[in-house]
Amino acid sequence: MTTLVVVHQGFNRMAYYLTSDESLCGQAPSRLAGAYRAPLERHAAIETPAARAEALLASLLRCVNVGSALDTIRSHVEGLLAVTSISWQVDDERYCGTVCEPSEHTIPVALSLDDRPFGRLRLHSRRPVGEAELAALREMLAVVAYPLRNLRMLEHALIAAEHDALTGLKNRRAFDLELKAVHARVARYGGQASLLILDMTRFKAINDTYGHDVGDRALARVAEGLDRCLRETDSAYRLGGDEFVVILPETPYQGARRLGARLLDWFRDHPLREPGGERVPLRARIGMAQFREGDDADGWFRRADQALYGNPEPNGAGRRLGRLA
């Protein structure tokens, strides 16, 4: 018979396999160290911080985003410490793992990348950590900076691929994906949903009169108005140029019309101001279309677009909201 014995010393953990004739009962640690030195050395599998770091790095290479990487780090560390949560602060961004239970003892671990600071991990533990444990923990976590950097860059790239750089709103690609998802959900399970398309009028005149920098500010102001007026469940997109669209889940035509009126009121009350104090009014027109049975996603959008340009359909299928100064 073979016995597995695990010995902990600080952050080091050693596993020994002893045969049946090697009794541990009644033996002092000093006696064991001498008597079983040879068999222990032959069968030892030593887990050092360096070995744990290697295992952690291998796991991190399989992660798909920063959140899953933080969860992976936590799972590797919690076998050694009673870690309740982990977060990472880098520049002005803060990432958290799935589990977030701050506890009394916080363990800060500064990260570096190419000898430059790269944010700070914060682990929360149920008990205080000694200096030796902290040193070993930092050695183990020294490998996480590059995987976190790569995953953060990937997330930034994915966000950039679906967002408009000028306004911060989602772009046409993101809209096409979400429109298909909302359409499929409503077509299958029922419910109401509406589209609202907004087009700035006299936008060319703003560019020609005040310059393209003011035109850019006008587009950003429209995005601000959308952010102020929409509900959390609504989503806004810049399709291109001066055209915007809003997806309104669980919203009939009447609700879309109320939102459109609220938006036009907001634009009227929040004109741009030039440095000299000149008022630059924002004007817009809005077309709306409620989902109806039999619509495909493209047809639904097309009806809202037709309503925008003055070709409304009856019965709330697609209507235009008059422009307001």
Q: What percent of the chain has pLDDT over 70?
A: 80
Rounded to whole angstroms, the Cα distance separating 311 from 302 reads: 11
Give residue 225's pLDDT: 97
Give residue 300's pLDDT: 96
81-99, pLDDT tens digit by residue?
888 899 999 999 999 987 7
Mean pLDDT value across residues 278-296: 92
Plot region of 168 (φ>0 → left; ψ -120 to 50 → alpha; else → beta): left
Q: Quick count: other Cβ atoms within 10 Å of Cβ 261?
A: 15
Tell me the domains of the chain and their CATH numbers: 2-47 (no CATH), 50-160 (3.30.450.40), 163-324 (3.30.70.270)
Single out the residue of 247, 288, 248 nearest to residue 264, CA to CA. Answer: 288
For residues 218 and 8, which has the higher predicted lDDT (pLDDT)?
Answer: 218
pLDDT interval class at 127 (50, 70, 90): confident
Helix or strand (DSSP H, E) at 152: helix 145-161
Around 130, how many Cα atoms within 13 Å sit in the side-chain half-sphere? 6
Mean pLDDT value across residues 272-277: 81
For residues 289 and 31, which has the higher predicted lDDT (pLDDT)?
Answer: 289
pLDDT interval class at 102 (50, 70, 90): low
221-251, pLDDT tens digit by residue?
999 999 999 999 999 999 999 999 999 999 9
Give residue 133's pLDDT: 86
pLDDT, mean over the chain: 84
pTM over 0.75: no
pLDDT interval class at 165 (50, 70, 90): very high
pLDDT interval class at 10 (50, 70, 90): very low
Decide if pLDDT at 39 tops 60: no
Decide if pLDDT at 313 tops 70: no
